[in-house]
Amino acid sequence: MRLYLLIFCVLLSAACTTTAPTNKNTAVPNTANTNITNTAVKPAPSAPQVYTYEVVNTYKHDPKAFTQGLIFHEGFLYEGTGQEGESSLRKVELETGKVLQKHDLPATSFGEGIALVNDKIYQLTWQEYTCRVFNLQDFKLLKEFNYQGEGWGLTTDGQNLYMTDGSHLIRVINPENFQVIRTVAVFREDGRPLINLNEAEFIKGEIWANIWHSEEPDILGQPNYIARIDPNSGKLLGWVDLGGISPEDVQRDPENTLNGIAYDAAGDRIFVTGKNWKKLFEIKVKPKE
């Protein structure tokens, strides 16, 4: 009896494990492709907005000023100029372009960007690796800081300094000791580093930066372009196309590039000029159609 029972159990087990035929009309899930079919395709990032300009006012600018930094403060322009033997810090009357006050840097210095924090003007040098700090009122030299790498542009959010060095990096710096707090990397919309960040200005929470020789094909291929940058993330927020803004100047020496941005926060005015340009322009920026 036990033998018959054992045979019956073996036959019953075999019947239960027999594979049932697959119905061709029954969908069989492809588990190998589950991750692909269930993953949403991310849309490509939209291209940053391109803005154009309208010239509101035109002012005289010293054609001997190789502009490297420009700020507006309480009705006056403050300008840092470059070139060895010609570098200076200046206070300029906006309406006439007249230089009201001037401090000449040492003959070996090549002046670069400037920024104003707590009544002190900070001025970079190109390859001297030195930032000089001047008293706003009399341009008296207060102190000097050393830093690594080249100095190009300088701006401030009112608390910290933001320094460019010709690469795609912006250094956030403590003005009390000139120590780097953090760095911000800036990339183009195609993912490549946005190099040649130069003279810069804070405007309504953004950093606006001139792109040195933006007209060159391996840079942007667009003359007189300004990048609008998120100072926290480095995200490219837009472009300001100032092509053709100064026809009297753009046919001059190739180094006479656009390189001055100043913002009057109280009057909501933007000023731009360039190296050895004859004019300074007040502009209104608007989206490009």
Region 26-41: mean pLDDT is: 33
The answer as to whether 28 is a domain residue is: no
> Looking at the predicted structure, is the pLDDT value of residue 13 above 70?
no
Band (pLDDT 50/70/90 cuts) for residue 255 is confident
Q: What is the CATH number of the domain that holds 125?
A: 2.120.10.30
Task: Kindly state whether residue 12 falls inside one of the protein's structural domains.
Answer: no
Note the pLDDT tens digit of each residue in 112-146: 999 999 999 999 999 999 999 999 999 999 999 99
Q: Which residues lie below 8 Å from residue 256, measured CB to CB, with a gap of 6+? A: 249, 250, 274, 275, 276, 277
Asked if the model's pLDDT at residue 38 lies above 70, the reply is: no
Chain centre distance of CA 247: 25
The model carries a pTM of: 0.83
pLDDT at 28 over 80: no
Question: 112-116, 212-216, 230-234, 253-257: lowest mean pLDDT where?
Answer: 253-257
pLDDT at 22 over 90: no
- Cite the beta strand spans of the chain per DSSP E: 49-60, 67-73, 76-81, 88-93, 99-104, 111-117, 120-125, 130-135, 141-146, 154-156, 161-164, 169-173, 180-185, 197-203, 206-211, 225-229, 236-241, 258-264, 269-274, 279-287
**Host domain of residue 163:** 49-287
- What's the total number of domains in the chain? 1
pLDDT of residue 276: 93
What does pLDDT average to over the chain? 86
